[in-house]
Amino acid sequence: MPMAETATLSDTITTKEELDEWKERMARQRRERGEPVRPPGLDPKNYRRGGWQDDVNLLVAFLKGIKNIMDLLIKYRVPEQPAALFAKLLPEVERNINWAISDLYDIVNAPDPTSHPCYVGLQVRDLTGEPLALKARELDDRINDSPPVAVLERVDSILGSLIPVLYSLEPVKEFKETLESRIKHGGDRAIQTLDIFRDQQPWNR
């Protein structure tokens, strides 16, 4: 006789089906629109309240930061010709990030935010409280002290943990990895524009 299957927090919310149901419901509610509206009462500059408010604020800041980092790299570091295609696809990537932010804001509107399927899913993956603060601090250190590729690698680690809960981020991760490869192995627009041998090119004579 087979043993009864034991449900654990690592593969359930109260059940895994509840998380899947919530994902489907949020997907149905999505529309083609711009930046999600921050819920009233969620102050993005107040990091002293602790608990789920800090977690939502940190993750929203992380997702908005990804948009800004990728936009900057495309505009100033990727050479013009490949940058044009990256720029063309970026709005679709930003739309997926906005969907993920909307899903995080859904936590705020719940009667008990800490029991919301999305929030419990984040807890399971160490994306709340001190574990999340550690990840955010390490990314901030990379931003301040490391080259772009190291920053993108750290971003990738956090994105990978978020995707099982905020599944609209999967195309974002793929786009970021493509951009990371271009930055790591391709030419740099800022350096190319220096044209240091503009007047001295004996190999072209």
Q: What is the pLDDT of residues 115-151, one digit of tens each?
A: 999 999 999 999 999 999 999 999 999 999 999 999 9
pLDDT value at residue 74: 96
pLDDT value at residue 137: 94
Kindly tell me if the per-residue pLDDT of 93 is higher than 50: yes
Mean of pLDDT values over 67-89: 95
Structural domain contains residue 89: yes
Kindly tell me if the per-residue pLDDT of 167 is higher than 70: yes
DSSP summary character for residue 154: H
Buried b (16+ CB within 10 A) or exposed e, 131-169: ebeebbeebeebeeeeebeebbebbeebbebbbebbbbb
Structural domain contains residue 1: no
Task: Give the rounded percent of residues in the chain with a pLDDT score beyond 90.
Answer: 59
Structural domain contains residue 115: yes
Domain residue limits at 136: 54-192
Local confidence band at 26 (pLDDT 50, 70, 90 cut-offs): low
Structural domain contains residue 110: yes
Higher pLDDT, 51 or 63: 63
Structural domain contains residue 103: yes
Average pLDDT, the chain: 84
Kindly tell me if the per-residue pLDDT of 183 is higher than 60: yes
pLDDT value at residue 9: 40
Structural domain contains residue 202: no
Structural domain contains residue 152: yes
DSSP summary character for residue 176: H
Structural domain contains residue 174: yes
Mean of pLDDT values over 159-173: 94
Higher pLDDT, 19 or 129: 129
Compute CA distances 196 → 33, 153, 190, 192, 202, whole Å. 44, 31, 12, 8, 13
pLDDT value at residue 199: 79
Mean of pLDDT values over 52-81: 94
pLDDT value at residue 62: 96
Alpha-carbon distance of 38 to 202, in angstroms, equals 59
Instruction: Name which of 66, 143, 131, 139 is nearest 101 in CA terms.
Output: 66
Alpha-carbon distance of 26 to 11, in angstroms, equals 20
Local confidence band at 194 (pLDDT 50, 70, 90 cut-offs): confident
Mean of pLDDT values over 104-122: 91
**Number of folded domains in the chain?**
1
